[in-house]
Amino acid sequence: RAKEIKTKLGTLLQKPDSSIDFIIPYPEKPEKPPKTQKPSPEEALQWRDSLEKLLQNPYGLASFCSFLRSEFSEENAEFWVACEDYKKIKSPVKMAEKAKKIYEEFIQTEAPKEVNIDHFTKAVTMKNLVEPSPSSFDMAQKRIFALMEKDSLPRFVRSEFYQELIK
């Protein structure tokens, strides 16, 4: 029985990714975040001290992604969002498909949007993907969050884009 499941899973993972594209609604690179949800200066000020609050706010996330794109480092935020979406998946089959897609896009060596994680984290993540679970990417996601918090957030806070938001 287990062998049969592994075979089916293996077959699934070989299929072309046509259906997988609908699982992750990656934002189609909005250059300007939607005007409607513009935060108050007070709200935007909170982002200086909390990457979490920034990433949870749709306008903040879009602003941060635009900023990272201008620095050619948007893969970190995209990876973080992909991991958040991944954790919400209930179906083991869809979870395996999404895990494979995230791995191929962000984790594997020479991936198109390879994120900067150490070898240990990469090894743990690959081991976790043998049997995908909601926590498969947790360690890598935490590393990337810490990287964005330490490097990207301070630069974002100094950017003109952010300065406009808190006026």
Q: Is the pLDDT of residue 2 over 90?
A: no
| Joined tokens for residue 57 | 């706010």
Question: Would you list the domain boundaries of the chain?
Answer: 39-164
pLDDT of residue 7: 54
More confident residue, 164 or 25: 164
pLDDT of residue 71: 87
* Tokens 């602003």, located at residue: 63
From 23-27, 54-58, 82-86, 154-158, the region with the lowest mean pLDDT: 23-27
What mean pLDDT, rounded, does the chain reach? 83
pLDDT of residue 27: 45
Three-state DSSP state, 123: helix
Q: Which of 97, 93, 64 is nearest to 81 (CA)?
A: 64
Query: Cα separation of 156 and 167, whole Å?
Result: 15
pLDDT digits (tens, 9 = 90+) for 42-101: 889 999 999 999 999 999 999 999 999 988 889 999 999 999 999 999 999 999 999 999
Domain 39-164 superfamily per CATH: Regulator of G-protein Signalling 4, domain 2 (1.10.167.10)
Going by pLDDT thresholds of 50, 70 and 90, the confidence category of residue 4 is low
Residue 40 DSSP symbol: P
Q: Is the pLDDT of residue 31 over 70?
A: no
pLDDT of residue 72: 86
The mean per-residue pLDDT over the stretch 24-29 comes to 43
The mean per-residue pLDDT over the stretch 143-148 comes to 95
